[in-house]
Amino acid sequence: MNSKSYSLFLKDFKSELRTRYAINALAMFIIVAISVILFSVGNEKISQSLTGGLFWVVIFFTAMSGLSRAFVSEEERGTALTLQLIAAPSTIFSGKLIFNIILVFAMNTVIAILYSVLFEAFVIQNFALFLTSFVFGNIGLAVSSTIIAAIIAKAGAKGTLYPVLSFPILLPLILTSVQLTLFAFDGISFERAKFELAIVVSYDVIMLTASYMLFDFIWKE
Amino acid sequence: MIWKIFLFLLLVFVSVAGIAFPIVENPQYWYEFPFIPGLGENAKIIFFHVPTAWLTVIGFLMSTIYSFKYLRKKNLDDDVKSYAAAQLGMVFCILATITGAVWAKFAWGSFWSWDPRQTSIFALLLIYGAWFALRSSIESEEKRATLSAVYSMIAFITVPFFIFIMPRIMTGLHPGSIPTNPNEEQVSPVINFKMNGNMQLIFFLSLIGFTILYFWMWQVGYKSMLLKEKLDKQLIRG
Amino acid sequence: MTNYSVEATGLNKSFGRRLIFNDLEFKFNKAGVYGISGPNGSGKSTLVKIIAGIIAPSKGKIIHNLDNKLIAEEQLHNYIGFVSPYLVLYEEFSTYENLNLFAEIRGVKFDKERIDYLLNKFLLFKRKDDLLKTYSSGMKQRVKFIFALMHSPQLIILDEPTSNLDDEGKNSVYELVKEEGEKNIVLIASNEKSDIELCSDIVYLERYKN
**Tens digit of each residue's pLDDT (9 = 90 or more) over B88-126:** 999 999 999 999 898 888 878 888 888 888 888 898 999
Phi, psi (deg, nearest 5) at residue A95 = -60, -45
- Is the confidence at residue B193, as pLDDT, over 80? no
Report the chain B residue with the minimal C-alpha distance to residue C18: B233
For residue B179, the 8-state DSSP code is: P
CA distance B150 to B102: 35
Phi, psi (deg, nearest 5) at residue C203 = -95, 120
Q: How many domains, chain A?
A: 1
Q: Return the SS3 of C203.
A: strand
For residue B172, the model assigns a pLDDT of 64
Which of these, B238, B206, B199, B214, lies nearest to B13 by C-alpha position?
B206
CA distance A4 to A10: 10
Buried b (16+ CB within 10 A) or exposed e, C24-49: bebebeebbbbbbbbeeebbbbbbbb
Residue B212 Rama label (left phi>0; alpha psi -120 to 50; beta): alpha
Q: Return the SS3 of A105.
A: helix
CA distance A196 to A186: 15
Report the chain A residue with the minimal C-alpha distance to residue C85: A78
Q: Do B151 and A167 touch (CB under 8 A)?
A: no
For residue C132, the 8-state DSSP code is: G
CA distance C70 to C53: 14
Q: Percentage of chain B with pLDDT > 90?
A: 39
Instruction: Give the count of beta carbons closer than 10 Å to the beta carbon of residue C150.
Output: 22
CA distance B53 to C45: 48
Residue B20 — very low, low, confident or very high, per pLDDT cuts 50/70/90? confident
For residue B69, the model assigns a pLDDT of 95
Average of per-residue pLDDT values in chain B: 83
Q: What's the half-sphere exposure (Cβ side, CA atoms, 13 Å) at B107?
A: 26
Strands (E) across chain C are located at 4-15, 18-28, 32-37, 59-66, 69-70, 80-83, 155-159, 185-189, 201-204
Provide DSSP, A15-51.
HHHHH-HHHHHHHHHHHHHHHHHHHHHTTPPPPHHHH
Report the chain B residue with the minimal C-alpha distance to residue C59: B74
- Which residues have CB under 8 Å from A125's CB, separation 6+? A184, A185, A186, A187
CA distance B147 to A151: 6
Report the chain B residue with the minimal C-alpha distance to residue A150: B147
In one-letter notation, the amino acid at residue A107 is M
For residue C131, the 8-state DSSP code is: B
Give the residue ranges of chain C where pLDDT is below 50: none
Which of A170-174, A196-200, B12-16 shows the lowest per-residue confidence on average (mean pLDDT)? B12-16
Cβ-Cβ contacts under 8 Å, A217 against chain B: 71, 146, 149-150
For residue A100, the model assigns a pLDDT of 95
In one-letter notation, the amino acid at residue B133 is A
What sign results for the dihedral spanned by CA atoms B128, B130, B134, B137?
positive
- Which residues have CB under 8 Å from A20's CB, separation 6+? none
For residue B113, the model assigns a pLDDT of 82
- The answer to whether the beta carbons of residues A133 and A197 sit under 8 Å apart is yes
CA A66 to chain centre: 9
- Which residues have CB under 8 Å from B71's CB, separation 6+? A217, B146, B149, B150, B153
pLDDT in tens, B139-167: 888 899 999 999 999 999 998 888 777 77
For residue B176, the model assigns a pLDDT of 63
User: So where are chain C's domains?
Assistant: 4-208
C4-208: what CATH class? alpha beta
Instruction: Give the count of beta carbons closer than 10 Å to the beta carbon of residue C61.
Output: 12
CA distance B79 to A171: 26
For residue B177, the model assigns a pLDDT of 61
For residue B43, the model assigns a pLDDT of 76
Cβ-Cβ contacts under 8 Å, B155 against chain A: 168-169
Residue A13 to chain C, least CA–CA distance (Å): 12
- Is the confidence at residue A18, as pLDDT, over 90? no
Q: Percentage of chain A with pLDDT > 90?
A: 68
pLDDT in tens, A59-118: 999 999 888 888 998 988 889 999 999 999 999 999 999 999 999 999 999 999 999 999
User: So where are chain B's domains?
Assistant: 43-174+191-237
Q: Return the SS3 of B108.
A: coil
CA dihedral B28, B33, B36, B38 (to 10 degrees): -130
Instruction: Give the count of beta carbons closer than 10 Å to the beta carbon of residue B28.
Output: 7
Strands (E) across B33-182 are located at 33-34
CA dihedral B154, B155, B156, B162 (to 10 degrees): 120
- The answer to whether the beta carbons of residues A199 and A186 sit under 8 Å apart is no
Residue A29 to chain B, least CA–CA distance (Å): 24
- Domain that includes residue A35, residue range: 3-219
Whole-structure pTM value? 0.89
Who wins on pLDDT, B232 or C95?
Answer: C95
In one-letter notation, the amino acid at residue C108 is V
Nearest to B143 among A154, A195, A196 (CB): A154
What sign results for the dihedral spanned by CA atoms B87, B92, B98, B101?
negative
Cβ-Cβ contacts under 8 Å, A167 against chain B: 126, 130
CA distance A120 to C207: 75
Q: Do C90 and A79 touch (CB under 8 A)?
A: yes
Residue B156 to chain C, least CA–CA distance (Å): 25
Q: Do B76 and C15 touch (CB under 8 A)?
A: no
Mean pLDDT of A125-146: 95
Which of these, A221, A25, B51, B198, lies nearest to C45 by C-alpha position?
A221
For residue B181, the model assigns a pLDDT of 47
pLDDT in tens, B55-95: 999 999 999 999 999 999 888 899 999 999 999 999 999 99
- Which residues have CB under 8 Å from C180's CB, separation 6+? C149, C156, C186
Q: Do C91 and A85 touch (CB under 8 A)?
A: no
Nearest to A7 among C74, C82, C105 (CB): C105
